């Protein structure tokens, strides 16, 4: 999926910020929302800036006791552990266990990715004394799409073969599915480097599918609405606490543009039937968007599915100069984009 029209990037960026504001508790790591290659905040018109900054200050829980247990054999000087799946947009716990007899050194994590850029990876370590997560230092790359990267951090340790010490880490990919291999090493600063064999994982995300929108859709001014359905199935091994969707639209012809009053969007809800979803104009350009209900997102366990049924019509008062328009549906996990579908249409009548 991830189909995007370049002419309304600002619309999508502003709308992504709305999703961030609506995602609520239980979302993924606080960071600027990303939809496709557009990052909310770069043109969110300032109106959302305070919300974005506030979100980055939210307190986050530290590692559980199980995340700090020692991994690897007693003979391993360094042992790296990560889960077999790394669902996009969710923090996945990992760790490095040290048994090397050293007092201070540098831990390095050499990443090799397939299907996505290592630049989209974020890795943090837990500093217990400060009770906070901090970003690991990443090596820079001149490659526009690197498949190899290195994260590192200095670490003072009292570890020994009989008294292992574990550093809690967490990681996530914010781009696309694929695979990730991580090889950990520890350099003691005295010419000794201890290495652990690479550990692999699948980078996954829920599957999204759109039905009911023909390839050449025409919506007549004042005419019937076109119904369509988005289905999201959690095909990963982790629960997503807040899956949200976002509808956005843009239409322009000559000097005229579509406004929220020119489109009629409705959502079907069991027990209530079709109810209106008022679109909100973007603060950056003549686009519009809305977060379908429930705006706080849906908790989606492994194997579970959720559907959003919508229908769209063009009002009879829509400007005659606009004959083509773009719309789309984005799927979000908290503040992270998972997929999007393009819904282009002609305006007739």
pLDDT digits (tens, 9 = 90+) for 164-198: 999 999 999 999 999 999 999 999 888 899 999 99
The answer on pLDDT for 45 being more than 60 is no
Residues 280 and 18: beta-carbon distance below 8 Å: yes
- The band of 139, judged by pLDDT with boundaries at 50, 70 and 90, is confident
Residue of 345, 323, 312, 346 whose CA lies nearest to 252? 323
Does the pLDDT at position 202 exceed 50?
yes
pLDDT at position 244 over 80:
yes
Q: Tell me the whole-structure pTM to 2 decimals.
A: 0.81
Predicted pLDDT at 103: 83
Q: What is the pLDDT of residues 72-105, one digit of tens each?
A: 999 999 999 999 999 999 999 999 999 988 788 9
User: Cβ(174)–Cβ(336) under 8 Å?
Assistant: yes
At 328, list the tokens.
Answer: 């789309």
**If you search the block for the tokens 């000097």, which residue do you land on?**
255
Looking at residue 153, what is its pLDDT?
Answer: 95
> Among the listed ranges 27-31, 129-133, 294-298, which one has the minimum average pLDDT value?
27-31
CA atoms within 13 A on the CB side of 224: 3
The pLDDT assigned to 52 comes to 32
216 pLDDT higher than 70? yes
Q: What local confidence, expressed as pLDDT, does residue 2 receive?
A: 26
Tell me: pLDDT of 144 over 90: no
Please write the tens of the pLDDT for every residue from 252-280. 999 999 999 999 999 999 999 999 999 99
Higher pLDDT residue, 295 or 3?
295
Q: Which two tokens stand for residue 31?
A: 């960071």
Nearest to 67 by CA among 28, 98, 93, 85: 93
pLDDT digits (tens, 9 = 90+) for 306-335: 999 999 999 999 999 999 999 999 999 988
What is the SS3 assignment for the chain?
Answer: CCCCCHHHHHHHHHHHHHHHHHHCCCCCCCCCCEECCEECCCCCCCCCHHHHHHHHCCCCCCCCHHHHCCCCCCCCCEEEECCCEEECCCCEEEEEEECCCCCEEEEEEEEEEECCCHHHEEEEEEECCCCEEEECEECCCCCCCCCEEEEEEEEECCCECCECEEEEEEEEECCCCEEEEEEEEEECCCCCEEECCCEEEEEECCEEEEECCCCCCEEEECCCCEEEEEEEECCCCCCEEEEEEEEEEEEEECCEECCHHHEEEEEEECCCEEEECCCEECCCCCCEEECCCCCCCEEECCCCEEEEEEEEEECCCCCCCCCEEEEEEEEEECCEEEEEEECCEEEEC
- Describe the crossing of helices 9-23 and 49-56 by its angle, rounded to 10 degrees: 50
Encoded tokens for 187? 């350099």
Handedness of CA 230, 236, 239, 242 (dihedral sign): negative
Percent of all residues in the chain with a pLDDT value above 90, rounded to a whole number: 72
Mean pLDDT computed over every residue of the chain: 84
Residue with tokens 């393009």: 342
């Amino acid at each position: 999926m991830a189909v995007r029209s370049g002419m309304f990037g600002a619309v999508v960026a502003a709308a992504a910020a709305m999703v961030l504001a609506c995602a609520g508790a239980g979302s993924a790591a606080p960071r600027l929302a990303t939809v496709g290659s557009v990052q909310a905040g770069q043109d969110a018109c300032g109106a959302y800036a305070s919300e974005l900054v506030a979100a980055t200050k939210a307190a986050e829980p530290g590692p559980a006791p199980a995340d700090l247990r020692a991994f690897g054999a007693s003979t391993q000087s360094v042992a790296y552990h990560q889960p077999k799946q790394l669902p996009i947009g969710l923090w996945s716990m990992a760790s490095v266990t040290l048994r090397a007899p050293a007092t201070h050194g540098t831990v390095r994590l050499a990443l090799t990715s397939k299907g996505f850029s290592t630049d989209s990876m974020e890795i943090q370590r837990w500093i217990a004394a400060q009770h906070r997560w901090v970003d690991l230092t990443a090596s820079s790359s001149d490659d526009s799409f690197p498949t190899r990267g290195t994260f590192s951090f200095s670490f003072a340790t009292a570890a020994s073969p009989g008294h292992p010490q574990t550093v809690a880490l967490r990681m996530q990919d914010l781009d696309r599915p694929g695979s990730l291999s991580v090889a950990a090493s520890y350099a003691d600063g005295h010419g000794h480097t201890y290495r652990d064999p690479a550990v692999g994982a699948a980078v996954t995300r829920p599957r999204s599918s759109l039905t009911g929108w023909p390839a050449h859709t025409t919506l007549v001014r004042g005419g019937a609405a076109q119904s369509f359905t988005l289905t999201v199935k959690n095909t990963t091994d982790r629960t997503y606490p807040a899956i949200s969707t976002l509808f956005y639209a843009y239409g322009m012809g000559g000097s005229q543009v579509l406004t929220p009053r020119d489109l009629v969007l409705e959502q079907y809800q069991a027990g209530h039937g079709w109810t209106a979803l008022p679109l909100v104009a973007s603060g950056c350009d003549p686009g519009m968007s809305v977060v379908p209900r429930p705006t706080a997102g849906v908790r989606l366990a492994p194997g579970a599915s959720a559907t959003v049924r919508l229908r769209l019509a063009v009002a009879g008062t829509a400007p005659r100069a606009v004959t083509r328009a773009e719309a789309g549906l984005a799927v979000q996990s908290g503040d992270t984009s998972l997929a999007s579908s393009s819904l282009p249409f002609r305006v007739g009548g």
